[in-house]
Amino acid sequence: MIFSKWHRFGVLRASGRVAGLTLPAVLCAGLCLSAVAQAEILPLSVAMSRAAQADPAAMATQKRLAATEAGIRQAGVRPNPSVGLEAENVLGSGPYSGLSQAETTLSYQQPLERKSKREARIGAASAQNDLARAEGRVRTWEAMTAAQRLWVEAVVAEAETELAGQRLKLAEQSQAEIRRRVTAARDPLFAGSLAETEVATARIAHDQAAAKVRQLKTQLAALWGGAAEFELEAKWLEGTPVISEPALMETPDIEVLRARQRLSAAQLKVETTRRVQDPTVSAGIRHFQGDGAVAFIIGGSIPLNRNDAYRGHIDRARADSEAASADIEVAERYRQRDITAATLRMTDLAHEAQRIETEVIPQAETALRQVREGFVRGGFTYRDVIGTQQTLMAAKARRLEVLKQFHIEQINRDRLSGKWLALLPDVEAAQ
């Protein structure tokens, strides 16, 4: 990384003055250099894994899973029995009324729920649990994608800092040459002012680029609550791997759609089983106050589906299930379309970056060398040198922009294809 090389160059250049420093200052400088040398190199996969492990939404997901697991337990509970007490002939007219002729019945009623209903409820609660888990994985998946984007932007920002350092170096070289020419009265004074302006502008651009790197590193480290004391893989940006259609995996986004489809199907089963009514059986003891006799009674009842056969609920659940299935089909079709489009754009961007590197930049470097040689001989003006330098820097900047767009497209394609699924932590393990 050129920015790091310039940093080391500055340290080496200052080493000529070490003899004038105190021993504590020298030791402090040595410790600082040792800390820089031992800075952690943060690969992309490690950054994404740390962001996934530290996802703040994981706690909310665990609470939702606990809620749905409680729902599964509740869904398996059988209907409660009931106890009834009736007293007949307590009041009234005639010889068979009054407390002496009362008939008291104590009964016990139990609804006989069909096993299919209970299984359907448990299935729906389990599907709700699957949906909560899938939605939690989507939130973690988004945190990983955010880490990937910040990591790529930070690598690009370091490359931009490196490029800004090259521009500053060229500007300082030109400034030194123009000073000699102005001192020798070979160029007017304004040429020296222009050179100083170019150096100041290049230095500001370099400082801003370095500040951007620090900002992006801080944002990246904040995803897992760490410090931005790490180095990035600078050479990673230069790599444009062989572009082909990626292998498709079941991404968390698709998992959510499938979980919703299973939930809709489970709800349809629940509504279908409800249309069959459950009987209620009862048994009890009747006491005749008049003669002290006791009788055992049994009975039963079953609701009639005269006015409500759950047709509306069933039709709604069936429509929801069919809609969920259609959502999966549409999502898969769109995913394949977007992956193909991203692959085509990546191919075009990689081709453009390669052509700029092999066709444009070498020509611009040759032109700059020729103009500088002519400038030393007096054949060109300072404006010619500045213009040629700007052409070279613009070509390199364009190449960086193309590489950045290439890797942004790769980020989108990685999310669609599920490339980094292996880094996604297990929700149960996080608990």
Structure tokens belonging to residue 320: 């929801």
Alpha helices for 184-251 (secondary structure H): 189-222
What's residue 94's pLDDT? Answer: 62
Residue 347 Cα to chain centre, angstroms: 25
pLDDT given for residue 89 in this prediction = 75
Asked whether the beta carbons of 386 and 198 are under 8 A apart, the reply is: yes
Q: What is the pLDDT of residue 283?
A: 93
Rounded Cα–Cα distance for residues 367 and 65 (Å): 65
Across 291-320, average pLDDT: 85
The DSSP letter of residue 292 is -
Whole-number CA gyration radius for the chain? 39
Query: Rounded to 5 degrees, what are φ and ψ at 358?
Result: -95, -25
Q: Which two tokens stand for residue 190?
A: 């304004």
Provide the pLDDT confidence category of residue 247 given band limits of 50, 70 and 90.
Answer: confident
For the cut 70, the answer to whether the pLDDT of residue 428 exceeds it is no
Q: Mean pLDDT across the stretch 149-167? A: 94
The structure's pTM equals 0.79
Rounded mean pLDDT, 293-309: 83
Q: What does the block give as tokens for 413?
A: 């394609």
Burial of 147 (0-12, 13-18, 19+ CB in 10 A): buried
Q: Cβ(391)–Cβ(367) under 8 Å?
A: yes
Task: Answer for the pair 394, 363: CB distance below 8 angstroms, yes or no.
Answer: no
Mean pLDDT across the stretch 379-408?
90
Instruction: Supply the pLDDT for residue 362.
Output: 95
- For the cut 80, the answer to whether the pLDDT of residue 73 exceeds it is yes
Distance in angstroms (rounded) separating the CA atoms of residues 238 and 236 = 5
Among positive and negative, which fits the CA dihedral 313, 314, 320, 324? positive
**Cα separation, 19 vs 175, whole angstroms:** 30
Rounded to the nearest 10 degrees, how much is the dihedral formed by the CA atoms of 342, 348, 350, 351?
160
Query: Using an 8 Å Cβ cutoff, are 336 and 245 in contact?
Result: no
CA–CA gap between residue 393 and residue 364 (Å, rounded): 9
Which is higher by pLDDT, 185 or 55? 55
Residue 87 is classified by DSSP as E
Domains parsed from the chain with CATH numbers: 2-13+43-78+113-275+310-430 (1.20.1600.10)
Range in 30-34, 302-306, 392-396 with the lowest mean pLDDT: 30-34
pLDDT band at 14 (very low <50, low <70, confident <90, very high): very low
Averaged pLDDT, 383-389: 86
pLDDT the model gives residue 429: 53
* Sign of the dihedral defined by the CA atoms of residues 64, 65, 71, 75, in that order: positive
Name which residue leads in pLDDT, 392 or 308: 392
Give 133's pLDDT tier (boundaries 50, 70, 90). very high
Least confident of 51-60, 123-132, 175-184: 175-184
Q: What is the DSSP letter of 80?
A: P
H or E element that contains 285: strand 280-288
Q: What per-residue confidence (pLDDT) applies to 193?
A: 84
Q: Specify the DSSP element, H or E, that contains 297.
A: strand 294-301
Q: What pLDDT, on the 0 to 100 scale, is given for residue 241?
A: 62
In the predicted model, what is the mean pLDDT of residues 352-360?
A: 93
Residues paired with residue 230 on neighbouring β-strands, in sequence order: 40
Is 414 in a helix, a strand, or coil? helix
Q: Are 42 and 411 in contact (CB under 8 A)?
A: no
Sequence letter at residue 54: A
How far apart are the C-alpha atoms of 263 and 259, rounded to whole Å? Answer: 6
The mean predicted confidence, pLDDT, of the chain is 85
Beta bridge partners of 103: 88, 288
Q: How far apart are the first and last CA of the chain?
A: 41
What mean pLDDT is predicted for residues 7-23?
A: 39
Of the pLDDT bands very low, low, confident and very high (cuts 50, 70, 90), residue 71 is very high
- pLDDT value at residue 10: 39
Average pLDDT over every residue of 404-421: 93
Confidence of residue 20 (pLDDT cuts 50, 70, 90): very low
**So what's the pLDDT on residue 379?**
76
In this structure, which amino acid lies at residue 158?
A: E
Residue 11 banded pLDDT, cuts 50, 70, 90: very low
Contact 339, 416 (CB under 8 A): yes
| DSSP string covering 98-150 | SGGG-EEEEEEEEE---HHHHHHHHHHHHHHHHHHHHHHHHHHHHHHHHHHHH
pLDDT for the residue numbered 132: 95
Is 240 or 372 the better-scoring residue by pLDDT? 372
